[in-house]
Amino acid sequence: MKEQLEQIAKLDVYEASIVTSEAGGLFLGRRGTEKLVGCVGEPCLPNAEKAGEIDGRCVCVGPCDHDNAVHLRRRLPWAGPKCIGLATSAGLGDRLGLATPGHVRAMREKGGGLAVFLAQQSIREMDRTRRTPEQVLDSATYGVIQEGYREGFGSDADHLQRPEDIDRTAAIGFTMFTIDPGAHVANDADLLYEPTLDWRATRVDLETLEASVDDLRMRYAGKAYPLAGGGSITLNDKDLMRAIVKYGDAVAHTVKMYRHLQQAATGPFELEVSVDETETPTTPAEHFFFASELKRLGVQWVSMAPRYVGRFEKGVDYIGDLGRFRASLAEHVAVMRTVGPYKMSIHSGSDKFSIYPVIAELTDGLVHVKTAGTSYLEALRAVAHTQPALFREVLQFARDRYETDRKTYHVSADLEKVPTAEDLALGDVDDAELTALLDQFDTRQVLHVTFGSVLTADGGALFRDRIYAALEADEEAHYAALAAHLGRHVQPFAKYAKT
């Protein structure tokens, strides 16, 4: 059928995309660098024009737009998102909307048994890249159809902080919602003395917590709570007051967002809770307080991302003492198994290769690893390989933007270690060496956090259009880079996968 479709539709058809049934069929193809979707027979795509006939059935072709994506998700359940639950999972964010085929290949080659989130982006990233929730979900739909990936995938409306963010993503069918109450975490709580802690505890949103400070004291202070696997956790009065001050308002905000989501959701949904983007680590006792309070107030969630010890900087490996991380994670896992079960979620999980084996072992598969910016970096690796002059321009622009764009990220790149335009012009870095810059700590972080500026500079015409053109012209180079790099992320978890 592939040859017939190509002849009639005048497309290069992706063979894996062809779906046939008694009622008709669907397929995806390219005409130049433009991707188009087609149908055979009825029901027809909403936006399509007749190209010809096969065996008396109409063959129509139309754009890969939102209306056609909605139609495809209705006809092909595996082309739309589903709830993943407690299955071992990886979130593979896609800032460009071109990465899904490469992500699928990574899962097939190295991530056997893992569930995957292929539509994942935060509202912050959508705003910075000028994408919409519809575009994020639609690009995943067309990507799985292109690859014939029928195992199903999740969609993650990531780092939601406002009710209106829930509304935007729930309306189009996202299935997981990551609540980020970080703005309500009191980062100074670790530095406060007892009298101030006692006073500050009375100022949290006790109404939403449906408890007084005395109620919380009676529930937690001085009690030893047995933990799964042995041991116990005890909050003395000072530790409890610190937990209330540090996380009380974050718990209350999460409760409010969850209740709003219950009203806004258009179908089954699941929740993740994240406090990873805060200044101080979450102690196991604070984790226990946070999770216990959510549970008491009726919140149901599938994964939680505390702020772990050490540094989870963007685009680079874990920075910190591995022994201390292991010991701390073991305590967090014990809390998770006691209050839950739910999955431990690893945010800023890109490129943390040194700790993946530890995380996989200690969680025994009750884990969700979230990546995003590393896929953008792999796109730039493909650009460096196929369009070295363009990559040089992007690198210099990113270097100039770094000090501004780094302010909302945990990074520590030293600009003095990143090549300048003069270095590149003088030939200190030749074309063949450009891709190696994507493996250098400082250059990776500079490129990682400046994605929004790069993709929207001068309305997007300066770099965005050229980057897309380069990736679309040689999509196999892009997919190969993604499959190789993301495969390293998912492989350590595959043998622990739980379904």
The residues assigned a catalytic role are 158, 272
Identify residue 365 by its one-letter amino acid code.
G
Strands (E), 32-164: 34-41, 49-54, 57-63, 89-92, 115-122, 154-160
| C-alpha torsion angle, residues 110, 115, 121, 123 (rounded to 10) | -160
Give rounded-to-5 percent helix, strand, coil for the chain.
Answer: 50, 15, 30
Rounded to the nearest angstrom, the gap between the alpha carbon of residue 399 and the centroid of all alpha carbons in its chain is: 25
What residues contact residue 199 under an 8 Å CB cut-off, 6+ apart?
Answer: none
CA gap 346, 329 in Å, rounded = 11
465's tokens: 């259009």
Identify residue 493 by its one-letter amino acid code.
F
Q: What is the DSSP string of 220-235?
A: HBTPEEE-TTS-EEEB
CA gap 305, 176 in Å, rounded = 14
How many CA within 13 A on the CB side of residue 23? 8
Residue 280 has a CB neighbour count (10 Å cut-off) of 16
How many CA within 13 A on the CB side of residue 355? 30
CA gap 470, 392 in Å, rounded = 14
